Amino acid sequence: MASHSSPSAPPTLKEALKDDQVQYEDCTPCRVMGAGVFIGLGTYTYMSGHSQLKKQEAIIRKSGSMFGMASRRFGITSMAAGLVGMGLYRFFA
């Protein structure tokens, strides 16, 4: 951490930005756990979302909503893909 002008004074903007640029490397178990959580959440989102859509399909179609089944499926799938992508990013980056 950068030395500040006095012990009780908050850091200057320049010092805070310099401290923020410090790069660190996560440990392997942290990366694996973080990636596993995101990938698991993405998988759960996909499975449960499509399951719920299938159960509610008749009600959704009857409702006359401007958001039909295709846009809802796309929304669930893209959200799940985003979470899985975040997991892969977390693991490899």
Q: How many domains does the chain have?
A: 1
pLDDT one-digit tens code per residue, 29-82: 999 999 999 999 999 999 999 999 999 989 988 888 888 899 999 999 999 999
Residue 11 lies in a domain: no
4 pLDDT band, cuts 50/70/90, is low
Q: For residue 21, tell me if it sits in a domain.
A: no
Give the tokens for residue 81: 């893909």
Is 37 part of a structural domain of the chain?
Answer: yes
Prediction pTM value: 0.71
Q: Domain for residue 80, yes or no?
A: yes
Separation between Cα atoms, residue 30 and residue 60, nearest integer Å: 41
The SS3 call for residue 65 is: coil
Within a domain: 43: yes
